[in-house]
Amino acid sequence: MDDKDDNNDNTGLNRTMNIATSWARHKEPDQAARIAVECLTERLTAAPHQVIAFYTEDLDSESLRLALALALPQSQIHGCSSCGGFMTEEGMFEPDEEGGVLGLWGMYDEGGSFGSALAELDDDPVAGAQAALIEAIDVADRAGEAPEMIWLTATPGNEERIIEGLQQLVGTNIPIQGGSAGDNQVSGNWSIFSQSQCSTQGVAVTVMYPGGRLSPIFHNGYSPTSHQATITRADDRVLYELDGEPAAEVYNRWTGGAIGDFLESGGNVLGSTTLFPLGREVDQIDNQVYYNLSHPETVTDDGALTLFSSVEEGEQLVLLEGSVSSLIKRAGRVAASAMEVGNITGSELAGGLAIYCAGCRLTVGDTMDSVVTSIQQATSGKPFIGGFTFGEQGCFLNGDNRHGNLMISYVAFAGNDQV
């Protein structure tokens, strides 16, 4: 399959792209789906060609899938569980005593083609990713044509291999955006679904061939410190040594004792490390260095750090630092950057898709409404939905698709109304 070229659609056809969101809170998944679908179709004034859903674990995923598929039989549907809620242009939505929450993002695009599919990962993430991609392209009726973008969600653990599998089929020039399924307590209660099936150990992809334009951005809300070292021993997502020293000891020294209580006994350090990720340089543009981040998860008995993304021996790691304020402001800046890079004005913007790391969401806590506001202000209040994920996938400005942690992404969509 050939890489898609860089040219936008210049056929001169008049094309319409409309985006809307909706949400519902209910204890019964079929009722949540009914309420959200009714609102979405009313706002779009038509059934959407593509639906992206975020929901909390309080709602049974198979029941949601079935209800959405029955209510929207002509739509492509892509669902992913999200940590403790989701956000839209209307605010933050979280589960409570009234039930779990479901959010829908719908696109009506009469000039576009879309396809969603899911495959189980089993023991071969590459094969699973490729099976889902092939089916999605077939559903979109675009055999042999690479999509403009791939929207990806998977259950956590194999994201690098999944990206590898996708790129083996479409090449490295197609942006891949999305996030890994989350739950409320990091207890494995995550799930994903397409219009035809649901999984707790799978990969779902949506291929997008929009009639207009899209512009993805992948970034974070952290700044580099002066601390850096070379990885001298690592195995996949376990970081054993930095410059020949136990990784946990080095990290603790760099952060002024952030994980000191865990050096002897080991344990989960997620809450202590969210504002101090480890980064690898991806690119430099106009003196701005872009980093892909790894989030330390646990300290092991032998002084290693487990991470939520893979690292390799010989790579240079830099300690980055952030604050609640930087995590709030960066969301809007990322959305604004997507519009700027895509040359999309506020009046042209139809809407967007956002991913915001669950670790950042938990750190920002009760001030998440400020994150919503930052995106609203950057996008003129246009519709968007944002999920809180356990790993993020995105395309950097140099075209590299990566899996990272504590990242923020936004995809801006604009119709092509040139006549």
Does residue 310 form part of some domain?
yes
Residue 127 is assigned to a structural domain of this protein: yes
- Are both 244 and 213 inside the same structural domain? no
For 99, half-sphere exposure in the C-beta direction (CA atoms, 13 angstrom radius) is 16
Q: What is the dihedral of CA 392, 396, 399, 400, to 10 degrees?
A: -50
Average pLDDT over residues 172-185: 97
The answer as to whether 1 is a domain residue is: no
Phi and psi at 304, nearest 5°, equal -90, 165
Residue 57 has pLDDT above 70, yes or no: yes
Global pTM value: 0.94
Matching residue, tokens 């009046």? 347
> What total of structural domains would you count in the chain?
2
Q: How confident is the model at residue 13 (pLDDT cuts 50, 70, 90)?
A: very low
Q: Is 68 domain-assigned? A: yes
Domain boundary among 298, 320, 342: 320
Task: Quick: pLDDT tens for 262-308.
Answer: 999 999 999 999 999 999 999 888 888 999 999 999 999 999 999 99
User: Is 4 domain-assigned?
Assistant: no
276 and 361 share one domain = no
Q: Has residue 291 been placed in a domain?
A: yes
Q: Which residues of 333-368 are buried (b: 16+ CB within 10 A; e: fewer)?
A: bbbbbbbeebebeeebbbbbbbbbbbbbbbbbeeeb
What is the pLDDT averaged over residues 100-106?
A: 99
pLDDT digits 0-9 by tens, 25-35:
999 999 999 99
Residues 185 and 71 in one domain: yes
87 and 155 co-located in one domain: yes
For 1-5, 98-102, 118-122, 362-366, which range has the lowest pLDDT when averaged over its residues?
Answer: 1-5
Q: Are residues 284 and 334 in the same domain?
A: no
Q: Which domain holds residue 90?
A: 17-219+326-414
In a domain, 215, yes or no: yes
Lowest mean pLDDT among 13-27, 154-168, 235-249: 13-27
- List the beta bridge partners of residue 106: 20, 51
Please provide the average confidence, as pLDDT, over all residues in the chain: 95
Whether 96 and 158 map to the same domain: the answer is yes
pLDDT value of position 45: 83
Q: Are residues 336 and 228 in the same domain?
A: no
What's the confidence (pLDDT) of residue 1? 60
Residues 101 and 45 in one domain: yes
Q: Which residue has the tokens 């242009």?
A: 89
Q: Which of 344, 346, 414, 382 is nearest to 43 (CA)?
A: 382
Let me know whether 235 and 96 are in one domain.
no
> Is 50 exceeded by the pLDDT of residue 4?
no
Is a pLDDT exceeding 50 seen at residue 41?
yes
pLDDT in tens, 119-165: 999 899 999 999 999 999 999 999 999 999 999 999 999 999 999 99
Q: What is the DSSP letter of 274?
A: T
